[in-house]
Amino acid sequence: MQQLWLRVALALYSLGLLHSILTVVGRKQRVFRIALGAISLGAVFHLVALVEDGLATQHFPVTTLPEAASLAAFLLACWFLLVYWRYRFHSISVFVFPLVFVLTLTAAVDRGPYAELPLLRTAWLYIHVSLIILGYTALFLTFVAGVMYLILERELKSKKPRAFYHRLPPLETIDDLAYKSLTIGFPFITLGIVSGAFWASSVWGPSWPLDPKIALSFTTWLIYLSLVFARWSVGWRGRKAAYFAIAGFVAILVTWGTNSGLHSFVSP
């Protein structure tokens, strides 16, 4: 039954994808209000699917890549709604809606039987993965804000700015979004790494730091630590912070996609 609700959410999210496509190709359209309502309703059905998935499998649904993708899509939709409520601009939807759709599509396909592994049934794992996904999805907004900042800065210098330029908020607003999403996402990934270290040391012993995914996670954390330090102590804003945010999210993508070594059990 949970797959039914997830596919209903996917159908609603597809309206958000349509809005993004029409915006990118420069078509004049008034579908954002429809897309906003669809995303909001889709998030409700998505939450129902997550709850039913957990009840059906008797575990918190974060132990496989499709499950993690589903939670990430739901959180991204929620983050977007919070950002829109706070700032009242919707140009960020061009980046968020397609990813929400793709992640939900990944989760909506047939996932096969759940592997009953004892090491997956622990509160430490659920806490670790949930915190990491919360952090990653918030830092995706930092990445998007960085991309938007660079686009707007370039268009401001152009004699013939493109249509998307007129849909972007001021540079100060974009930088504020980047800063606030960073200050939310970084503590989450920090706590996620700490909880993961406790869990890994209890399961795998002293060899756990040698896992490739763990090493990449620490590398990603150091990139964001540098960005936080630079913003707080040096006063980095604007272009430098945008480039660092983009580099950090590239590191997140590499880390997310690496499931060799001790993390190979999370393969779908």
Mean pLDDT within 43-60: 90
Interatomic CA distance for residues 81 and 76, integer angstroms: 9
Kindly indicate the confidence band of residue 175, based on its pLDDT and cuts at 50, 70 and 90: very high
If you average pLDDT over each of 21-35, 83-97, 103-117, 246-260, which comes out highest? 83-97
Interatomic CA distance for residues 33 and 14, integer angstroms: 14
pLDDT of residue 1: 59
pLDDT of residue 114: 55
Q: What is the pLDDT of residues 177-232, one digit of tens each?
A: 999 999 999 999 999 999 888 877 776 666 666 677 888 888 999 999 999 999 88
Q: Do 189 and 224 contact (CB within 8 A), yes or no?
A: yes
pTM, whole model, 2 decimals? 0.89
Bigger pLDDT: 93 vs 31: 93
pLDDT for 267 beyond 50: no
